[in-house]
Amino acid sequence: MAEQKRYRSIIDVHVILERGGEILLLERRGTGYCDGMLHLPSGHLDDGEPVTHGAAREAFEEVGVRIDPDALRLAAVVHHRQHPDLARIGFFFAASRWKGEPYNAEPHKCGKLLWTDPAILPSNTIDYTAAGIRAYLTGAPLTLHGWDGT
């Protein structure tokens, strides 16, 4: 009897840095994926890495701030279907405390940083990112995005 292949999904971590009623977005540049669009500090989880540590690592790599993984609050989980044969699970964490002032730590991947009102996202915000931010604002613990028209 052949062993059935188990489903696997890419795990993403996203960080919502909160300050004065605004959140920080980054403009993608030079990556070949959604260049010119806005997203949160985010990335893929590394093998064997807890999600909170991955989120803190990505925030440091992209915007130079140090966040204690224990200070991250789970804001939402988004199960995102990128296309028919690829899905992702995104953990969106919120942080109101960190060390350092955010700056563009990856200018080869980022055009600029933008503090914005999360309730009025710019039109060029990536849909997947916007779905996570909407879930954060409404308190929805789980959001499906890209499945059957969602």
What does the domain layout of the chain look like in residue ranges?
Answer: 10-145
| Strand, helix or coil for residue 128 | helix
DSSP 5-73: PPP--EEEEEEEEEETTEEEEEEE-SSSSSTT-EE-SEEEPPTT--HHHHHHHHHHHHH--B--GGG-E
For the 10-145 domain, the top CATH level (class) is: alpha beta
Give the per-residue pLDDT at 102: 98
Give the per-residue pLDDT at 2: 63
- Computed over every residue of the chain, the mean pLDDT equals 94
Q: Using 50, 70 and 90 to split pLDDT, how confident is the model at 9?
A: confident
More confident residue, 67 or 2: 67
Give the per-residue pLDDT at 149: 65
pTM for the model: 0.93
Give the per-residue pLDDT at 150: 62
Instruction: For 13-61, write each residue's pLDDT tens digit.
Output: 999 999 999 999 999 999 888 999 999 999 999 999 999 999 999 999 9
